Amino acid sequence: MTTRKQKRPAGSPQAFAEAAECLRILAHPVRLRMVQLLLHGRYTVGELAEDAGVADNVASEHLRLMQRCGFFTSERQGRRVYYEVAEPHLAQIMGCVESRFLAGR
């Protein structure tokens, strides 16, 4: 039996720190929109930038952030770079966010 004084929900401090960091990456309007779009297919930096209404370099920086924490992978095809979702749990979390904030009800 593990050492504990009371019954408490699980989670090491380290796990909470990691979870918080990923949520912080997600917590940006442009990045949220990019996640939502990429959950429906592959898109290039330019396409994502235009859809989100930001400059190409800004879009590139947001995508790099999300790639670094494992959200996306990227693949070069000619001049274009296609991004796509790599983290399966993104669909679940985005589903929660949509049902709370983006639901057409």
Partner DNA sequence: TTGAAATATCGTGATGTCACGATATGTTGG
Partner DNA sequence: CCAACATATCGTGACATCACGATATTTCAA
Residues binding a copy of itself (CB under 8 A): 8-11, 13, 15-24, 26-33, 36-37, 39-40, 51, 53, 89, 92-93, 96-102, 104
Contact 66, 34 (CB under 8 A): yes
Residue (of 32, 27, 78, 67) closest to 51 by Cα position: 32
Output DSSP code: residue 5: S
Q: Which of 39, 65, 86, 93 binds DNA (CB under 7 A)?
A: 65
Applying the rule CB under 7 A, the residues between 3 and 22 that interact with DNA are: none
Contact range with DNA by CB under 7 A, out of 2-10, 24-32, 33-41, 85-93: 24-32
Strand partners, 76: 81
Give CA–CA dist 72/50, Å, rounded: 19
Distances (CA, A) of 74 to 39, 82, 105: 14, 5, 35
Q: Which of 35, 62, 71, 90 binds DNA (CB under 7 A)?
A: 62
Instruction: Give the interface with DNA as residue ranges (CB under 7 A).
Output: 24, 27-28, 30, 44-46, 49, 54-58, 60-65, 74, 76, 78-81
